[in-house]
A and B are shown apart, each in its own frame.
Chain A
Amino acid sequence: MTTKSAYLLADNVSPATVTNTSSLLRIIALALISGAAIASRLFAVINFESIIHEFDPWFNYRATRVLASQGFYAFWNWFDPTAWYPLGRVVGGTIYPGLMATSGVIYSVLHALNLPVDIRNICVLLAPGFSALTAWSTYMFTKEMKDESAGLLAAAFIGIVPGYISRSVAGSYDNEAIAIFLLMFTFFAWIKALKTGSAFFGTIAALFYFYMVAAWGMLSVFVFTLHKFSPRTLGGYAFITNMIPLHALALILMGRYSSRLYVGYSSWYAVGTLASMQVPFVGFQPVRTSEHMAALGVFGLLQIIAFAELVRSHVSSKQFQTLLFASVIGMGILGTLAIVGLTYKGWIAPWTGRFYSLWDTGYAKKYIPIIASVSEHQPTAWPSFFMDLQFLIFLFPAGVIMCFRQLRDEHVFVIIYAVVASYFAGVMVRLMLTLTPVVCVASAIAFSSLLDTYIDPTEPEIVEDSSTDVDAPQTEGSSNVAAPTPKKAKKAKDAAPLPSGPLSDIVSSVTAGSFKRGERPRGVFGLDTRLAVIVHAVGMLIFFVMHCTWVTANAYSSPSVVLSSQNPDGSQHIIDDFREAYYWLRQNTPEDAVVMSWWDYGYQIAGMADRPTLVDNNTWNNTHIATVGKAMSSSEEVAYPILRKHDVDYVLIIFGGLIGYSGDDINKFLWMVRIAQGVWPDEIQEPNYFTRTGEYRVDDAASATMKNSLMYKMSYYRFAELFGSNQAVDRVRGQQVPKTGPTLDYLDEAFTSENWIVRIYQVKKEDSLGRDLKSANAFAQGKKRKRTKPAPRRRAIQ
């Protein structure tokens, strides 16, 4: 019984050699993939330098420095008096310490080995390092779904896919850097626990779940959990804690309850929940908030089912019926009473308004402007999907179908993950990150099935049936039309020799995945077809690699602290205004000088300038942020008492009008207005900042409120002078700025960076003669005070 082969294989190799060689090759492949994953994340270091990126990483870096220099206990009890001046911030109790602890451990280990590595380099390179681990855990996960070759493909995909690189380039020292590894490994351990029914793997899953909670937060949990804390830590990570319960529930509903499921889930839930409650910031949330009710509920359901199974095995079936009936009613009543009671007492909050923000996408915008103001929380348009996932995005549905063909327990997991993650990724750009792993896994399954089919050298036997198959599907089809649905399936099964027309081919081969596999010849004839498909597939892979390299180099490797542009001759021009300004603050102001800025820059000021700030990216106190927003959006006279009451010495703003940097404060200004309006609706009103026709303008047509606002004045102060006799143009808004710019009475320009991106103003002290600063200024300039209109006495704000 020799089968025909499309090409020759060496047949004098022993099976042991084959296994050994393949495992060696796998190890080499994984090592290469890790290398590629790390290397492709180093663009940022090569193009710029080894620097921490963006905003949040600066805080993480600062916290890690405290941890590394003062030890864990000092870090745990760290109270930061310089943040949220004058309130201060209890850092130890309000963060997820997983990321900092990881770097701290690496730092200690390296120093114990006498490798004096700077903590900054550890922080910068942590994300690339963990991406290699992510590739490995994705390999392990996919191996459970299909086989090793699919695993390797998935590892390669996730190693270089831009959707994951976007959050893990060198220098983006953020929670996501390690969280995706933890996520994939938790899922792998869960699948393993489910497959083997092992409490050991359940516990492993729980431990990694704990690590993930410690690193990423329970936040994890939902868009809305963290209204009260922070839009930065908030994410729609709903499914991370809820994926496993959802999977378990789906299995129960499919009638696939087993003792393996029971052991795996119970060990995961019990250990994982208790462990996660040890993180102070999490506390009792896992048993009190709606986001975690699903996990708790499924846990309870599993106990009931397990108990019912136990009873059933001990009593006769009739007794069991009555028992079941009584207990179902009893438990229903008890459960309802318990939930009602607990809610009534206020111990749990199962269905609060915030539950809806996940589904009602307008909710956040309406009630919590601070969340909607963050660009990461915008919905995703299709080019972003393609940019981040390229050809994986259309292989992904094919992979999901492949999962449906086999539909083992673990495939259900991938399917649920696919649906949930694609919804969330569509709602919020940021959540593309959580979609990426499942896309890689599913498309690896699809792609490796394709390669398996066309690389396999065995040729099927030729069956001569060309005469019958023309009319056979037609008769089959016509009889099916009349027959009702259930019978149709039966009939199709009964028809022993399956007809092979194009239509029935599709039907039978797609549905036949689980049964009658051996009956039909399967394989590819000839070498040219194989070659065509494989060359095509390899071409797609090469294109994918080129795409990823291009996207990573051009779109995702900018530190955003340092900007770059191109000179006319094509060489790179570095714009380093941020650091220039922060270092100016550091070197020219007293150490306790309080700097006010919009919250986006709080962490950077604390990290780079080392000065106290009013608000920062941990947006836990909305009122404080609104105070800053109010100061920025009111007139000088109103803002001055606010500034003085908060001991503000310097005000820092970002202004892009000169070089066309669009992420500046004038463009964010409306959010300041909105957030201030939320707290002081009487004093700040958004419509006042628009022109009569409802436009947002900064030129002559701008509304009076806009022109008098502190932000406008600070942005355009002396801007027109720069253009001499020419018309001053704001390059971001593309509008002509009035020739006579605003004047400032209560602030002094202290520093303006090279490209005017950062402008710093010093707040004047009260006049020594007790005049208000406006008249003092007027006096100094030799203007006569107008008698006719005495200035109204200012009231102190309440």
Chain B
Amino acid sequence: MRFFYPLLALLPLLSLCLAKESAHDELVRLASAGKGVINLDERTYNLLTTPKRTWSATVQLTAMDKRRRCAPCKDFFPSFTEVAKAWATVPSKDRDGHFFATLDFDNAMPVFQKLGLQSAPVVHVYPPTEGPRKPANGRTAYSTYDFAYGFEPAPLAEQLSNHTPVPIPYKAPIDWARWGTFGGIALLFATTLRFVAPILKSRWSWAAGTVLTSLVMTSGYMFTRIRNAPFTGGNGQWIAPGYQNQFGQETQVIAMIYGLLAAAFLMLTVVTPYTVSPKRQKAQVYLWSIVIFIMYSVLISLFKVKNRGYPFKLLL
């Protein structure tokens, strides 16, 4: 009996060794079957993330089923597949040291519960726990890909390359649509140059362009673009509360008010004096003055909405 104990103790170890061999082989087989991406269920997930692993792995936890209504999952899925596909082109020596896998919520609910995940998609990177590629700092817990880098494949590949044996050879595909559009526009321009030339040479088309650009820019267009501000708020509200904030529609309204005020000034300065009939001229002068006064009041009242402490007001 005494002799058996050490043997018995060895047994699980032995089987584990065997299992590990076969686990790796199984993963390699699954990866090549899935064109670089292993489609995980609970068992294979545990296999992949076994505490004794000589390989590293990137796992995408997602919920692609329609009922889950996970739009970001759908956005992210192709990027992940692209990167995994790029990894599949690496020579097998390095390729088999890192796996790409995807785990769907509906295939492995217990895993989501175990990890305590409330949202998807999530990308976990598991470093190897054994072998030469074991991290120097000894951290073997998974790390999470930070989606602040974006959903695109390029930053994903760049970030994941920190964890793979060799950098992921991801190259962004040539964006044919974009080049096509460029080419199309250039061609259109070249063919219609004869007709476009007078417009290009006219100072007034340039003037319109200049004024429109500065109007749009000074009404906070860049703010809405950089911050991805919504066009309107919910429940019909179109003025964003707060001084440092605005909605897309505000840009339009403000640009229109500025434009109208500027136009009224121009009318008074360059058009009205050429009117030859005194009566009509008088009507114009009063008309534009009133337009300026009213629009200016509207503008001030809008500004008061944004900046509540503002003490001045005109009409409204």
Contacts and interface: CB of A to CB of B under 8 A. Distances in A.
A687 to B, nearest CB: 6
Which of B210, B258, B269, B309 lies at the interface centre, i.e. has the most chain A CB atoms within 10 A of its CB? B269
Contacts of B246: 381-383
Interface string A507-521: 011110100000011
Interface string A426-461: 110000000100000000001001100110000010
A685 B146 contact: yes
Interface string B270-289: 11111111100110011001
Interface in A276-306: none
B118 A383 contact: no
Given A524-B281, A687-B146, A506 B271 contact: yes
A379 B229 CA distance: 12
Contacts of A682: 135, 137, 139, 143
A427 B262 CA distance: 23
Given A379-B223, A398-B262, A401-B207, A510 B143 contact: no
Which of B150, B268, B272, B274 lies at the interface centre, i.e. has the most chain A CB atoms within 10 A of its CB? B274
Contact of B222 (A379, A387, A396, A453): A379
Nearest to B273: A522
A147 interface: no
A366 B265 contact: no
Interface stretch (B56-64, B80-88, B105-113, B249-257): B249-257
B133 interface: no
B309 to A, nearest CB: 7
A415 B210 contact: yes
A760 B150 CA distance: 38
A393 B218 contact: yes
Contact of A524 (B204, B221, B285): B285
Interface stretch (A207-215, A328-336, A462-470, A718-726): A462-470
Contact of B213 (A405, A423, A526, A528): A423
B220 interface: yes
B299 interface: yes
A386 to B, nearest CB: 5
B37 interface: no
Interface string A404-418: 110100000001001
B31 to A, nearest CB: 25
A396 B218 contact: yes
Contacts of B282: 525-526, 528-529
Given A385-B219, A427-B222, A505-B274, A486 B312 contact: no
B189 interface: no
Interface in B120-139: 135, 137, 139
Contacts, number: 219
B211 interface: yes
Contact of B276 (A396, A454, A462): A462
B208 to A, nearest CB: 9
A395 B275 CA distance: 23
Contacts of B146: 677, 685-687
A685 B269 contact: no
B303 interface: yes
Interface in A671-703: 677, 681-683, 685-687, 692-694
Given A381-B246, A391-B296, A682-B139, A386 B303 contact: yes
A381 B243 contact: yes
A505 B271 contact: yes
Contacts of B276: 460, 462-463, 465, 500, 521
Interface stretch (A542-550, A575-583, A650-658): A542-550
A554 B149 CA distance: 40
A450 B268 contact: yes
Contacts of A521: 274, 276
A588 to B, nearest CB: 39
Interface string B212-245: 0111011111110111000000000000000111
Contacts of B225: 361, 379
26 contacts: A378-B244, A381-B245, A383-B243, A383-B306, A385-B218, A394-B262, A394-B299, A395-B265, A397-B214, A398-B263, A400-B207, A401-B266, A402-B266, A404-B206, A404-B207, A419-B213, A422-B217, A446-B262, A446-B269, A460-B273, A511-B204, A533-B268, A540-B296, A546-B312, A682-B143, A685-B144
Interface of A: 361-362, 366, 378-387, 391, 393-398, 400-402, 404-405, 407, 415, 418-419, 422-423, 425-427, 435, 446, 449-450, 453-454, 460, 462-463, 465-466, 485-486, 489, 500, 505-506, 508-511, 513, 520-526, 528-529, 532-533, 536, 540, 543, 546-547, 550, 554, 677, 681-683, 685-687, 692-694, 798
Given A379-B225, A382-B246, A427-B222, 13 more contacts: A384-B244, A394-B299, A395-B262, A396-B262, A397-B259, A404-B207, A404-B210, A419-B213, A422-B217, A485-B198, A505-B274, A521-B276, A798-B137
| Closest 10 pairs between A and B when the two form their complex, measured CB to CB | A426-B222, A382-B220, A525-B278, A404-B207, A394-B261, A422-B217, A397-B262, A422-B214, A398-B262, A426-B217
